[in-house]
């Protein structure tokens, strides 16, 4: 068979799918001068290929099928698999309809189709419910799928073939690096799946349980990447990369023992790393580390099942990263149910004080299938599922209006990225005299921003 794999380029803003928000995806549209620059950065560096489609390509190719890829064009074939999302599902279903009129059978895969099949059912010949590999294996062996098809999670992840990036033509390493991540992103790698934590708002843990590949299997995949590309840039898409410290030590040791020249980034919790582990990871190729801070308030975090991390430990880890020249990217969530104006302002203050290299601020979004959804469904007013994008108010907040939430989201980006000290940190200017001048400029800029905010919304404490 000729198999068409579709990871459609999103419409209206910058759309990320695949493993973002567990697979529901996100859409970032600029809503201020500051976020226009953030949007441009995301388009250049965050447009990474789909690791799930690369696995699907490998399974079909292993069975001798012809595999082609599209990011939007209509392609002749016998069967098409569409990577689904919540934030761009209309575009995906329109494309599926067009393919079906050409006589191509169409199936959908991903978290969105697993949890929201009614959005796709009228536009598909079949829908995969669960992680796709098991059902794709049946398809590749000749089984016909119709309707909603259960796809059981693969427990032995080592049994899967390595992703076939050569068949996903979107994956073109450009070799141009203006930051640690090259233009065009890098190659995603899943060393584990699911998440061992219990945050009620997180969709990463609702499709299947937590499982990890063997270290040897992961390093074998990295070695294969090194044979196909010079010093590949690897993006570990694990929800909690350093959950098992000994496993990460072994991983780094094996990378170095095999003489593999790679750069990589990962996402983890800051209480799962320390100075010694960071030095080992940096020597193996770590260049960027992402982590969730979410809120500065322990009380806010405990209400949504997230274990707080002491602020001093977070500062220490980020300082270790600065010393090792590891880029840090912190995630913050505004608008938890117990948040108010003051708690969000305190989180924005904490973000600027923590001063990671990058910060991403999002609004709390109750995603279908999460425990938070069950709790907050009566408060959800948004009927357009594409607006569950992480940056749009979707529910009646107990303490804040939608206008206030959007204002605070914009204020977070402005306060973080418009500081003179942000540029000083980027260029590693640590001279005492220079830093004193920068600190004075910070205060002046902050006062100017606050005056503008007061004119719009009244007094803001940020």
Place of tokens 């206008």: 403
The CATH T-level fold of domain 173-417 is: TIM Barrel (3.20.20)
CA angle 412, 415, 421 (to 5 degrees): 140
Q: What is the mean pLDDT of residues 331-350?
A: 95
Reply yes or no on whether the pLDDT at 3 is more than 90: yes
Of 36-50, 97-111, 112-126, 289-303, least confident by mean pLDDT is: 36-50
**Helix count and strand count (H, E) for the chain:** 15, 16
- Asked if 124 contacts 108 with a C-beta cutoff of 8 angstroms, the reply is yes
Assigned token pair, 230: 């010079």
Of 160-164, 345-349, 418-422, least confident by mean pLDDT is: 418-422
| Per-residue pLDDT tens over the stretch 410-462 | 999 999 998 877 876 776 666 666 667 777 777 777 777 777 666 666 654 44
Angstrom CA distances, 67 to 4, 109, 158, 227, 322, stand at: 6, 16, 23, 22, 44
The pLDDT value recorded for residue 444 is: 77
* Pairing outcome for strands 211-212 and 192-193: antiparallel
Of 234-243, 297-306, 447-456, least confident by mean pLDDT is: 447-456
Reference 69, options 81, 51, 55, 86; nearest CA is: 81
Assigned token pair, 36: 């226009």
Tell me how far the alpha carbon of residue 426 is from its chain's centroid: 23
Assigned superfamily of 2-150: Cobalamin-binding domain (3.40.50.280)
Of 26-40, 250-264, 358-372, least confident by mean pLDDT is: 26-40
Reply yes or no on whether the pLDDT at 178 is more than 50: no
Helices within 63-144 (DSSP H only):
89-101, 111-115, 133-140
Reference 61, options 165, 216, 191; nearest CA is: 165
Assigned token pair, 63: 């069975």
How far apart CA 126 and CA 147 sit, in angstroms, is: 4
Q: What is the mean pLDDT of residues 213-220?
A: 98
- Asked if 238 contacts 266 with a C-beta cutoff of 8 angstroms, the reply is yes
Assigned token pair, 252: 């780094």
- Domain residue limits, the chain: 2-150, 173-417, 418-462
How far apart CA 108 and CA 125 sit, in angstroms, is: 9
Q: At 171, phi and psi to the nearest 5?
A: -85, 90
Assigned token pair, 50: 């789909």
CA angle 272, 425, 427 (to 5 degrees): 120
Residue 86 Rama label (left phi>0; alpha psi -120 to 50; beta)? alpha
Reply yes or no on whether the pLDDT at 375 is more than 70: yes
How far apart CA 326 and CA 416 sit, in angstroms, is: 19
* Pairing outcome for strands 126-129 and 66-70: unpaired
Q: At 373, phi and psi to the nearest 5?
A: -60, -45
Tell me the pTM: 0.92
């Amino acid at each position: 068979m000729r198999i068409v794999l579709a990871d459609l380029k999103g419409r209206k803003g910058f759309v990320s799918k695949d493993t973002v928000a567990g697979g529901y995806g996100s859409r970032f549209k600029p809503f201020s001068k500051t976020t226009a620059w953030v949007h441009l950065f995301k388009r250049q560096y965050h447009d990474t290929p789909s690791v799930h489609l690369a696995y699907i390509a490998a399974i079909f190719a292993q069975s001798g099928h012809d595999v082609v890829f599209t990011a939007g064009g209509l392609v002749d074939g016998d069967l098409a698999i569409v990577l689904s999302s919540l934030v761009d599902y209309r575009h995906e279903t329109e494309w599926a309809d067009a393919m079906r009129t050409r006589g191509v059978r169409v199936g959908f895969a991903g978290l969105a189709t697993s949890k929201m099949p009614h959005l796709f059912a009228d536009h598909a010949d079949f829908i995969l419910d669960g992680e796709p590999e098991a059902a794709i294996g049946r398809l590749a062996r000749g089984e016909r799928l119709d309707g909603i098809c259960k796809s059981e999670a693969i427990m032995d992840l080592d049994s899967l073939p390595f992703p076939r990036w050569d068949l996903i033509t979107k994956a073109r390493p450009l070799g141009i690096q203006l930051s640690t991540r090259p233009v065009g992103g890098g190659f995603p790698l899943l060393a584990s799946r699911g998440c061992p934590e219990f945050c009620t708002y997180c969709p990463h843990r609702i499709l299947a349980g937590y499982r990890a590949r063997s270290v040897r299997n992961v390093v074998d995949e990295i070695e294969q990447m090194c044979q196909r590309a010079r010093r590949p840039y690897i993006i570990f898409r694990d929800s909690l990369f350093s959950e098992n410290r000994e496993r990460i030590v072994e991983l780094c040791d094996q990378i170095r023992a095999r003489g593999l020249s790679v750069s990589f980034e990962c996402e983890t919790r800051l209480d799962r790393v320390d100075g010694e582990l960071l030095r080992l990871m940096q020597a193996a190729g770590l260049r960027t580390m992402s982590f969730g801070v979410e809120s500065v308030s322990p009380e806010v975090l405990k209400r949504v099942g997230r274990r707080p991390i002491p602020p001093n430990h977070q500062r220490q880890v980020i300082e270790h990263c600065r010393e090792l020249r590891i880029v840090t990217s912190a995630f913050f969530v505004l608008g938890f149910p117990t948040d108010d104006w003051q708690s969000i302002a305190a989180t924005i203050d904490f973000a600027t004080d923590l001063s990671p290299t990058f910060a991403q601020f999002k609004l709390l979004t109750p995603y279908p299938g999460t425990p938070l959804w069950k709790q907050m469904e009566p408060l959800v007013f948004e009927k357009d599922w594409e607006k569950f994008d992480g940056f749009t108010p979707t529910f009646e907040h107990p303490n804040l209006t939608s206008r206030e939430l959007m204002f605070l989201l914009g204020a977070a980006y402005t306060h973080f990225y418009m500081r003179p000290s942000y540029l000083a940190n980027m260029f590693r200017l640590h001279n005492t005299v220079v830093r004193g001048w920068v600190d004075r400029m910070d205060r002046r800029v902050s006062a100017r921003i606050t005056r503008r905010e007061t004119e719009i919304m009244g007094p803001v404490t940020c």
